[in-house]
Amino acid sequence: MMLLHTCDRCTQEADHHIEKADKTVLHLCWDCYNAYLCERMGLDVAKYAHPKTIAVEGQRFKVKAEVYHDGVIYYAYKGRQDALQTISFNAPFELDAKLAMEELKQRIAKLLIPPTMLEDDFLSPKGVIGVEYDEDTYDDMAFIIDGKRYDSEEFLDFLENYRGSNLLYIAEPRLPSLEAQWFGKEEHLIPNIDDENNK
């Protein structure tokens, strides 16, 4: 069952729910959550404002960003909700959104636009494979390749072509479900913030 709360700062639906020290809950939408964290850390959220979409090689990707205690993760994504093609860039706070978008565009051009799956079920030397919970069971994984969803057995069948090989990989954050509800305690969001700032 999805909880429906209006953001405490705007009229959007809240998807981040923060329990404060006094046990009250702050309900925020994605953008207001980012602004809240920036305020708590003394940062200007405008520095991390990004376009809603970017175009790379004639393809349009939606963009989202999420502020964390140690930087901003920018996500680019496109496709069906159950098989999103996504890529991310974890930027330090010193990097503004304009420069982060350039890095994100380079990652899209190098890794997301060229097909990961080649003919005859071979993988490209470079590509992106998304790993998700299987929406039906949540006990198994699903793999997203070129906007198509594969179950564990199908993915293991692809790997048979690589017996005797090493597969090198880089793990990076994947865009969370756009329908997800986030719950957390305020003191866990920004580690090492002194108690005076938490009031």
The structure tokens listed for 115 are 């097909």
Residue 182 lies in a domain: no
Give the model's pLDDT for residue 1. Answer: 41
Residue 140 lies in a domain: yes
Whole-angstrom distance, CA of residue 80 vs CA of residue 26: 31
pTM: 0.82
Residue 91 lies in a domain: no
Residue 154 lies in a domain: yes
Give the model's pLDDT for residue 162. Answer: 87
Residue 49 lies in a domain: no
Give the model's pLDDT for residue 193. Answer: 54
Residue 66 lies in a domain: no
3-state secondary structure of 121: helix
Task: Please state the domain count of the chain.
Answer: 1
Give the model's pLDDT for residue 2. Answer: 54
First vs last C-alpha separation in the chain: 32
Residues of the chain with pLDDT under 50: 1, 194-199
Whole-angstrom distance, CA of residue 72 vs CA of residue 95: 9
Give the model's pLDDT for residue 138. Answer: 61
Residue 155 lies in a domain: yes
Q: Which of 91, 96, 77 is nearest to 176 (CA)?
A: 77
Which residue, chain included where needed, has tokens 């080649």? 118
Give the model's pLDDT for residue 126. Answer: 84
Domain of 127? 119-162
Dihedral pair phi/psi, residue 10, rounded to 5°: -150, -165
